[in-house]
Structure 1
Amino acid sequence: MSVNLAMRADATNRTVAEFAARGFDWDGASCIHLARRQAENMGHIVPQMPAFRSRQGALRGLLKTGHRTLETLLDSLFPRIEPARMLVGDIAMLPGEDRRLRAVVIFDGHLSVAGWHEAHPEKLVWIKHMQGDLIAAWRL
Structure 2
Amino acid sequence: MKNKLLYALFLFVSMTAASQTDLTWDDLAKIDYTEKYFPAYESNFLYPEFSQEIINLQGKQVSLSGYYLDVAPNGDLFILSKNPLASCFFCGNGGPETAVELQFKTKPDFKTDDVVLITGTLKLNKDDVEHFNYILTDCSGFLLK
TM-score tier after normalising by the smaller chain length: under 0.3
Q: Which has the larger radius of gyration?
A: 2
Higher strand share: 2
